[in-house]
Amino acid sequence: MPWQHLLDTPQRLPETSLELWYAALLERLGEAGTFERALRGGWLAATPGLAFLAGYQAALRALWPSAPPSLGALCVTEQRSTRPADLGTRLDGLALTGRKDFVTAADAADWLLVAARAEAAGEPPRLVLAVVHSGAPGVRIEPLSALPLMPDIGHARLHLDHAHCELLAGDGWDAYVKPFRTLEDVHVLTAISAWLLGNARLQGWSQDLQLRLLALLSGCAETSRQPPAAPATHLLLAGLFAQCAALQEELAAAFASGPAELAALWQRDRALLEIARGPRAKRLDKAWAQWR
């Protein structure tokens, strides 16, 4: 990881459509691993939402290393649940039918990873993960209204009607859906921390705050190298979120001392670090019990 990039003043990429912004990011990155994609994506992002997008895309590639270079999305949630027993999307041969209710960046995604039920009648729920492409027959994206949090990153509903798909190897739950939350947490925290450090460099925040943000990123680097299912990984990740939480008061003061529009941007989007706090706490409880 070329940490030297973080000693330079970030040259933020201009805001544009998500597809064009991500293409510009890839052109700037060249060959890069998933941690570097998240870190430098956050470093070059003009908004927390774009930093989130960089971290999210990096997590997708940590999950599926052979993913296409274009924007993608993971589609699991139905009726606010990700539990296999609650999902209604079904695989029949190599065709998918069903609906996913809340898909991040789906309206900009070129490809979609879809969790679907594939068990025979009378068997326990079993998931597979399949790939479909936006605009293909039987694939329809329904954009949803912008959210107050990260309104620059769209969300959509995915409708599937006998859509042809390709299957990924391995169990859909254990190999993909379950580990993704940890991968997403690590890479999004990396990207947001890099965005914060970029602002610290641009706004001339205190040396102490800059060093602590840099230390947080170094912890993210180590955690990103750990297997997402390992209890130790959840302990390390919880430690990183605790470090970040301890900085919030000082970050608020730093933003308040600078441009009002930047402070408003952070005030609007800072809650993105609270996404999936409940599931993360449950994983920590399990990991803590094993450690003790």
Does one domain contain both 91 and 228?
Answer: no
Whether residue 50 is found in the same domain as residue 83: no
pLDDT in tens, 195-225: 999 999 999 999 999 999 999 999 999 999 9
Residues of the chain with pLDDT under 50: none
Question: Which of 167, 192, 224 is the last residue in one of the domains?
Answer: 167
One domain for residues 156 and 213: no
Q: Positive or negative, the Cα torsion across 183, 185, 186, 190? A: positive
Do residues 48 and 184 both lie within one domain?
Answer: yes
Check whether residue 77 and residue 54 sit in a common domain: no
Under DSSP, the state recorded for 81 is B
Same domain, 211 and 287: yes
Residues 209, 118 within the same domain: no
Residue 163 shares a structural domain with residue 211: no
Parent domain of 139 = 72-167
CATH number assigned to the domain comprising residue 134: 2.40.110.10
Note the pLDDT of residue 1. Answer: 56
Residues 112 and 195 in one domain: no
What is the per-residue pLDDT for 223?
A: 98
Burial class (CB in 10 A: 0-12, 13-18, 19+), 122: exposed
Please list the residues that pair with 167 across neighbouring strands: 130
Structural domain ending residue among the three candidates 124, 143, 167? 167
For residue 71, what pLDDT is reported?
Answer: 98
Residues in the chain: 292
Domain boundary among the residues 167, 191, 217 is at 167
For 12, 65, 151, 156, 182, the CA distances from 176, given in Å and listed in that order, are 32, 12, 27, 21, 11
Same domain, 58 and 179: yes
Same domain, 184 and 282: yes
Tell me how many domains the chain contains. 2
119 and 14 in a common domain: no
Q: Each residue of 225-262: pLDDT tens digit?
A: 999 999 999 999 999 999 999 999 999 999 999 999 99
